[in-house]
Structure 1
Amino acid sequence: AAGYATNHIIMTFGDDFNFENADEYFKNLDKLIKYVNAQQANGSNVNVFYSTSSCYLYALNKADRSWKSKTDDFFPYAHHPHGFWTGYFSSRAAFKRYERHANNILQVTRHLNAFANTNARNTLFPLSEAMGVAQHHDALSGTEKQAVAFDYAQRLSEGIQVAEGVINQAYAKLLPKDSQSPPIQFQFLCQLSNISQCLGIEGQERFTVTLWNPLIHQVTQHIRVPVRTDYTVRDPTGDTLFTELVPISQAVQNIPGRTSLTQKQIIFKATLPALGFNTYYFEKKPDQEKNEKSSVKITHNDECTLKNQHLRVDFDDQGNLHQIVNLDKNTGVQFKSQGFYWYQSFAGNNSRPEFQASGAYIFRPLSSDSQPVSTTRSITCIKAESVQTAIVTFNNWASQEISLYDGGEHVEVEWTVGPIPINDNIGKEIILRYDTDIQSQSKYYTDANGREVLERKRDYRPTWNYTAVETVSGNYYPVNSRIWIKDEDQQFTVLTDRTQGGASIADGSVELMIHRRLFYDDGLDVGEILNETAYGEGLVVRGKHILFIQPPAASALYHRVASQSLYMHPLATFAIIPQTYDSYAAAYRQTWSALTDTLPLNVHLLTFEQLAPQIYRIRVEHYFELNEDETYSHPVTFDLQSLFKSIGQISEFTELTLAANLPLTDLKRLTWLSSEQESSHMFVPEQNAATNTAIRLIPMQIRTFKVIVQ
């Protein structure tokens, strides 16, 4: 027991696809326990018995000793020097995004169900269940067989269909004005909007777009709607909005499976109320108005500068990104290079560590040098008043649209990759890389769970001596929401719209793996190669990176707030409208918010769910870390009642554990003593009276409540 801190030794039992004959294995275990313990009569001090992880932990707690505290994590994990389990951070990139998209819909539907008092929680269960199943360690990770991946996606799809019904029930209550009973406007989701396709509105004379903002703060975003022709768009007050028609890129139009012939999209700026909705009314423009000269300017293969009130982005006529300048802070980042690269996957038979193949779990490149996907590229520069975009095309399967929005304080990179060519029988791991002039000194920073961020250092582990063998995959970490590099003057932050593997393989460089198509299984029980296809060819994946250039001390304010908006973005539903605008406006609300008070910027509503009539489950979080922002990294207090203004008065509320399965006052946690003589004892506050609904949150704290409303 030299490797254990006490005389308690745990022997775990179980494995994927093993020990399935329970009768046989438990009989053998019974015999093993019996004969080992029989040796006690001969002086043995070994006592073996069936146990659980809880019992083992309890025994350690009673050992009356101090324990080392660990503040780093276990990533990246490897089972031998060439077997780093860093491929699954990026495997099945489309499903990783679909799961996050489905969660966005689930949380919005829970909001609508609660505020409309539709009591449809049980109806929504298929989506809740599908989301729960998708959290399995072989689901979201992409380490399942293809047939199983299809099943996970189908469950989410069927759950979203159910959610659409609940959304309609809720809007049937929220949209009609008081004392009015107009016809119910059927709301539908356009789930292919990420490829600029919404067949339900194509060619329609009139339709509405209703946007629900799931955040408890007002948000301003630019909304894109794919259309065949131009429309007049009215905001909730009836005013005609400034809109522009911008082209849909050829790369998007060519995506396999896209059946829409739409080549343009309307773009407009929408400011949405906190925890509420706005409806925008679209009406076809008369023919004479459609022929008005467009103010959108388009150039091909010329130098291109995108510029708004806060940022400037410069490209040369070859499509190379040269710099991003923060005009407010008079600082900027130079780019040595930026674009798509690929690693050749190692081909092996897994018989020995040195023959380890790259697969769904394992990322193992043949060489530490990544290759550009193309030696040339073309650039199309589109300048409108709402948005300026550089479309950079590398080849017929890799392109990016780099956009700067009016008033925006970040740069948006929308990438499209696939079908990855495999006619050369070589597996390919595709990365999007940003090579800057930042002096990062081998350090980079990744989030552990969408919230807390850890410092990483190339070819280094903080708690043991590490010898680098795999110099690329051994430096990859999971990037759930953000990665950054910094020096004394500036920080370059990249936000992701899904989990991706990321690294800084050279100083000043950030790379994120966005797609994989492989030829070998890595021998870790998937039993299939990772080769996703659709419509008879390799899968196309699209996604977004959000880029910030800020001084390090100011960066948290930007990336924290933007990450919340990216994770819980407004949900658009569409409806075909027979009425004129005046008739529609007379019968339906066009804006509504659950809130009348302005809530603190550093508070996020994590869960708002109606459990039964007048009973709700709430989770709130402080989403800033300690010491990362001068203003917002401090404790904050707000009134829980402010979330219920539209529902009623809180008559009773109970604080629960995070999992919401136990009142917090009933939680009896074990107390541990660290080797620094610090105690883990957690102070549990007394239950508040229902009259005092003030909630205090410290940085990174999540609090969970069951609330009963009169």
Structure 2
Amino acid sequence: MADHVNLRCGLFSLLIFSLSYVSGYARSTIKSDGTARCGYESCHPLKPNMLNVHIVPHSHDDVGWVQTVDQYYYGTVKYIIHSVVKSLLEDPKKRFIYVESAFFFKWWAEQNFELREKVRMLVNEGRLEFISGAWSMNDEATTHYQSVIDQFAWGLRRLNDTFGECGRPRVGWQIDPFGHSREMASMLAHMGFDGMFFGRLDFQDKENRLKTKTAEMIWHGSANQGESSHLFTGALFNMYQEPRGYCFDVICGQAKINDDKKSPFYNVNYKVTGFLKYAENQSLSYRTNNVIITMGGDFTYRDAAVYYKSIDKIIRYGNERQANGSKINLFYSTPSCYLKSLHDAGITWPTKSDDFFPYASDPHAYWTGYYTSRPTLKRYERDGNHFLQVCKQLSALAPIKKDAFDSQLTDLREAMGIMQHHDAVTGTEKQFVANDYAKRISSAFSNCGLNIQVAMNQLLTHMIDTRPPHPVETNSCLLLNISICAQSESNHPFTVTLYNPLARSTNEYVRVPVLGNSYDVIDHKGRILENQIVPIPEGVLKIKYRKSAAKYELVFLASDIPPVGYKVFYIQRNSIGAQTTATKQKSTSINIGNNDLRLEFNANGLLERISSNGIQHTISQNFFYYVGVAGNNIRHVDRSSGAYAFHPQVNKLNAVAHKVKVETFKGELVEEVHQKFNDWISQVVRVYRDKPYAEFEWLVGPIPIGDRKGKEIVTRFKSDIQSNGVFYTDSNGREMMKRKRNHRDTWKLKVHEEIAGNYYPVTTKIALEDDTARMAILTDRAQGGGSLEDGALELMVHRRLLRDDNFGVEEPLNEIAYGEGLIARGKHRLIFGQHNQGPSTLRSIERQLQLQFLLPPWRFFSSASSYTHEEWRSTFRNIHTGIARALPEQVHLLTLEPWRENELLVRFEHILEKDEDPVLSKPVRFNIENMFNNLAAVGIRETTLDGNAWLSEIRRMKFVPDPNSARAEDAGTNPFPQSGDSKFVIDLIPMQIRTFVLYLAKST
């Protein structure tokens, strides 16, 4: 969809269905002399009956790691790109691939018109090829699918706008993430990618795959969507580096190829022979007469001419040996050209239906610690996604668009794109780099907040005769998790505006820090709502750097918040003064709950039973810690636990406490148990009046290290469910993956680390069940977790370690804030019950709760000190919805954002899997014509998942599965007849996401 051929649709325009953007698929444009320009047709020819060696020059440029984004760019990356471009312009045979759009477009902005045109020529001729094309090379364990899609959409959009069809990648390139999710394969498939290559997989898995020639496969990316989610996937032989001894960059310090026979350092024969032997050895583990050899590594090609010169000599002298009988053909290539050669080989391929977690690089190095590393940064990233969706929606819904909207929204898009990097949200960066990531999000919050300020003021006063003299400030309180909000503490009265980004109305219990203990909460109709005052927990009050005088939280139920809309609540002090609702119970009879759910605590203050819909089960919950190995990293067994690796000292849990201090507070809206485990761990367990879950809000830190032992803190729920070693974790927040303790689906596992080797990434949910009951825990950020004992689930919530694990960060994971160890606070939601909960199954209820936990109503605080309640009601529109009707219960509006002029990008998803509910898991059909209020849609066209190519023009490569391999799923067919239905009618099968461009009537 290059912008020079973008089509704009007016009210009477019907051309949008006969004309189109340039498709993002790999159709090559042919020059007048008949030579190919880009795409698969630009590949160098292969030689039959030879081993064709695809030499792929590349540089892996981390978007922050041990240096910040800007340090890497200004110190290294800008010179890499410039150096590569210069070398490519000098020789049409050379190739180079580039991945990180964040870096490339930073470089692009600095170039003049002349050089930009030369780069366009390189792209059009297939000599410079973009691979993956997302804003960064994202992690696959700790990222949420919504953020992954967003950062691909933006990176591919920029490539499309700049280079058109030839800039669109055909192949995914996930060479450095530490394990690979099945959902990632599905997303790439639905973006129109033909294949994907990656570098890291478990050392046992790799050994087995190389031995059985199954390192390249057809990956079934979904258990629900059938062939549309299949993606050809290959594991690279040498991860992503060049063969040992063949790094020719100026930073490598290795001998370059010397072909001067008079020189004492002449080495060309030796080097070429070694390279050819390497290629032959690699070919023994793969199925065709093609192999790919990556030439490059971390931040290589700083002087591309030097690197290319040695490769030129390997190719030249290696191919000269064909005259003497060599059967090896060397040439510059790209991953897409290599993929094409595999496709054209016409053979069948093995299949895979599970994922590549966890990743271990040796018997005692399971990279499962990073699932939890830097828990507060992980939570901040999740807040960033939440705010980005709100900002997108309000930017789209604002009646009058402002010139700065696009740039301010783009700031947050790009900050969040950087945060998905596999050394950002993962927590595997240096501390000062983590601080830089946080600063970027904070700055982008402020910029996108300007969009929200304008949009909300327009909506609050739209079609209101009486306009306020000054704009209303819509402030976000980003420290509500430790009960800080200057607006609610200092302004009396004040308003809370709840913006609901979901496409159905929702009910939300709102908690606001306040100074007093008696308030009126008044809704948009003037009704005074029931509310409750609850003390702020002691552990929160004692946080040394908490700058707040608030000792209470005001709790009220905000019901029926409109879909894609808001509702305003006016809050003022009540001088009559109802006191805090607080009942302290004796520890022998502690219980909290509602009509459907009840928790009972024992005399030690710990959870011991749960009743759900009248069925009682045994359940316990406590905090434990592992002691991290503090080794020298010389032997495998001495691997330290660090930012990447989880390596506990002994295979047992250490209980934090066996008896806890407890206070209980009960009211009409919420019942709470405040637990103090020790001086650095506390928790609030609460049950709201009509919610089907129990909330566990934990506070951990500073983790003590006075005993010189690093500690890894877990919360553990132990039930009487007979799970038989089986449990389930989500894949990037979507489909659930079946896990079995000490087992892998695709090879016979030899367990070296029974704890770390059974940890998996938990992005949003972990669960287990038997024939009678099910237990699920929802998380508010990415965490590591597992089931190390039948009936038990544990989640690691915080880590503080004293040694580095020797995987590159070169500093221990010892986070400090305000001179002390980091304090983290977060929430788990426990759902427990029978499989069938009335008209809906427990799993479908969990799906709805996942959405509400991910995207609750965003809270905006405003001073109302200049208005009485009646004046506020008459001055502002206090309730608004952006859509005319709610979507079906199983359908989520995943995306609503401004795209191009007079265009919206929208995504709809079916949130259930095919077996999760007998009714709601069925395919669904709905009509979105005239769905969005005040936005007149006059046309619609479907794109790939990322929004940058027409779906109807995508023709993905077909790879044939080995009939002896696993059978493909039979899901994914559309049950609806394709008739003359309205173009605004949308069908979704379970777990399907569909993306559309909506054309709006031109504004007058």
Tell me the TM-score normalised to structure 1 length. Answer: 0.96
Q: Secondary structure at the match of 2:618?
A: strand
**1:71 match:** 353
Map of 1:316-395 to 2, 5 A cutoff? 316-327=602-613, 330-335=614-619, 337-395=620-678
Q: Letter of the aligned partner of 2:705 in structure 1? A: I
TM-superposed CA distance for 1:109, in Å, is 1.1
Task: Indicate yes or no: 2:991 matched with 1:706.
Answer: no
Q: 2:503 aligned to 216, 221, 225, which one?
A: 216
Q: Secondary structure at the match of 1:223?
A: strand
Distance across 2 between alignment mates of 1:318 and 1:20: 63
Distance across 2 between alignment mates of 1:262 and 1:295: 16
Comparing 122-131 with 563-572, which one deviates more in the overlay? 122-131
TM-superposed CA distance for 1:645, in Å, is 3.3
Distance across 1 between alignment mates of 2:761 and 2:641: 17
**1:694 match:** 985
Q: Is the 8 A contact 1:317 1:379 kept in 2?
A: no
TM-superposed CA distance for 1:376, in Å, is 2.8
Q: Letter of the aligned partner of 2:639 in structure 1? A: Q
Q: Letter of the aligned partner of 1:63 in structure 2? A: A
Distance across 2 between alignment mates of 1:302 and 1:506: 28
**2:916 match:** 628
TM-superposed CA distance for 1:301, in Å, is 3.9
Q: Is the 8 A contact 1:103 1:131 kept in 2?
A: yes
**1:664 match:** 951
Q: Secondary structure at the match of 1:366?
A: coil
**2:337 match:** 55
TM-superposed CA distance for 1:672, in Å, is 1.5
Tell me the TM-score normalised to structure 2 length. Answer: 0.68
Q: 1:16 aligned to 298, 304, 308, which one?
A: 298
TM-superposed CA distance for 1:137, in Å, is 0.6
Q: Is the 8 A contact 1:243 1:266 kept in 2?
A: yes
Q: Is the 8 A contact 1:434 1:510 kept in 2?
A: yes
Comparing 548-557 with 377-386, which one deviates more in the overlay? 548-557
Map of 1:422-441 to 2, 5 A cutoff? 422-441=705-724
Q: Secondary structure at the match of 2:860?
A: strand
TM-superposed CA distance for 1:640, in Å, is 2.0
**2:397 match:** 115
TM-superposed CA distance for 1:203, in Å, is 3.5
Distance across 2 between alignment mates of 1:56 and 1:679: 25
Map of 1:132-171 to 2, 5 A cutoff? 132-171=417-456
Q: Letter of the aligned partner of 2:607 in structure 1? A: L
Distance across 2 between alignment mates of 1:20 and 1:317: 66
Task: Indicate yes or no: 2:688 matched with 1:405.
Answer: yes
Q: Secondary structure at the match of 1:501?
A: strand
Q: Letter of the aligned partner of 2:554 in structure 1? A: I
572 and 233 in structure 1: CA distance in 2 versus 1, 3 angstrom threshold: same
Comparing 676-685 with 401-410, which one deviates more in the overlay? 676-685
**2:542 match:** 254
Q: Is the 8 A contact 1:673 1:680 kept in 2?
A: no
Per-residue CA distance 1:26-47 (angstroms, 9 max, x = gap): 2222222222222111111111
Q: Letter of the aligned partner of 1:442 in structure 2? A: G
Q: Letter of the aligned partner of 1:36 in structure 2? A: G
TM-superposed CA distance for 1:177, in Å, is 4.9
**2:780 match:** 497
Q: Runs of 5+ in structure 1 lacking a partner? A: none
Q: 1:285 aligned to 569, 574, 599, which one?
A: 574
**2:562 match:** 273
**2:532 match:** 244
Q: Is the 8 A contact 1:227 1:265 kept in 2?
A: yes
**2:457 match:** 172
Per-residue CA distance 1:246-295 (angstroms, 9 max, x = gap): 10001111123211011001100011111110000011222xx12x4444
Identity among equivalent positions (%) equals 39
Distance across 2 between alignment mates of 1:298 and 1:549: 26
Comparing 37-46 with 394-403, which one deviates more in the overlay? 37-46
Task: Indicate yes or no: 2:495 matched with 1:197.
Answer: no
238 and 473 in structure 1: CA distance in 2 versus 1, 3 angstrom threshold: same
Distance across 2 between alignment mates of 1:500 and 1:6: 40
**2:856 match:** 569
Task: Indicate yes or no: 2:885 matched with 1:597.
Answer: yes
Q: Letter of the aligned partner of 1:33 in structure 2? A: I
**2:315 match:** 33
Q: 1:511 aligned to 794, 802, 810, which one?
A: 794
TM-superposed CA distance for 1:436, in Å, is 1.1
Per-residue CA distance 1:509-552 (angstroms, 9 max, x = gap): 10001000001111111111111110110000011111111223
Distance across 2 between alignment mates of 1:30 and 1:379: 72
TM-superposed CA distance for 1:121, in Å, is 2.5
Q: Is the 8 A contact 1:234 1:241 kept in 2?
A: yes
TM-superposed CA distance for 1:17, in Å, is 5.0
Q: Is the 8 A contact 2:604 2:658 kept in 1?
A: no
Task: Indicate yes or no: 2:956 matched with 1:647.
Answer: no
**2:815 match:** 532
TM-superposed CA distance for 1:636, in Å, is 0.6
Distance across 1 between alignment mates of 2:982 and 2:933: 15
TM-superposed CA distance for 1:302, in Å, is 4.6
Q: Letter of the aligned partner of 2:824 in structure 1? A: V
Q: Is the 8 A contact 1:673 1:679 kept in 2?
A: no
TM-superposed CA distance for 1:135, in Å, is 0.6
Q: Letter of the aligned partner of 2:574 in structure 1? A: K
Q: 1:101 aligned to 383, 389, 394, which one?
A: 383
Q: Secondary structure at the match of 1:420?
A: coil
Map of 1:446-465 to 2, 5 A cutoff? 446-465=729-748
Q: Is the 8 A contact 1:118 1:169 kept in 2?
A: no
Q: Letter of the aligned partner of 1:601 in structure 2? A: E
Aligned CA RMSD, in angstroms, stands at 2.0
**1:480 match:** 763
310 and 686 in structure 1: CA distance in 2 versus 1, 3 angstrom threshold: closer
Greater Cα radius of gyration, structure 1 or 2? 2
90 and 642 in structure 1: CA distance in 2 versus 1, 3 angstrom threshold: farther
Distance across 1 between alignment mates of 2:978 and 2:772: 46
Q: Letter of the aligned partner of 1:542 in structure 2? A: R
Q: Secondary structure at the match of 1:560?
A: helix
**1:442 match:** 725
Distance across 1 between alignment mates of 2:321 and 2:973: 46
Per-residue CA distance 1:377-424 (angstroms, 9 max, x = gap): 111111111100111110011111110001111111111000000111
Distance across 2 between alignment mates of 1:402 and 1:262: 21
**2:234 match:** none
TM-superposed CA distance for 1:642, in Å, is 4.7
Map of 1:216-235 to 2, 5 A cutoff? 216-229=503-516, 230-235=518-523
Q: Letter of the aligned partner of 1:702 in structure 2? A: I
Q: Letter of the aligned partner of 1:334 in structure 2? A: T
Per-residue CA distance 1:137-180 (angstroms, 9 max, x = gap): 10011111111111110000001111221111001110015133
686 and 559 in structure 1: CA distance in 2 versus 1, 3 angstrom threshold: closer
Question: Between Structure 1 and Structure 2, which shows a larger proportion of helix residues?
Answer: 2
Distance across 2 between alignment mates of 1:20 and 1:550: 59
Per-residue CA distance 1:584-640 (angstroms, 9 max, x = gap): 111111111122323211111111001245310111111111112111111111112
552 and 50 in structure 1: CA distance in 2 versus 1, 3 angstrom threshold: farther
Q: Runs of 5+ in structure 2 lacking a partner? A: 1-282
Distance across 2 between alignment mates of 1:570 and 1:689: 38
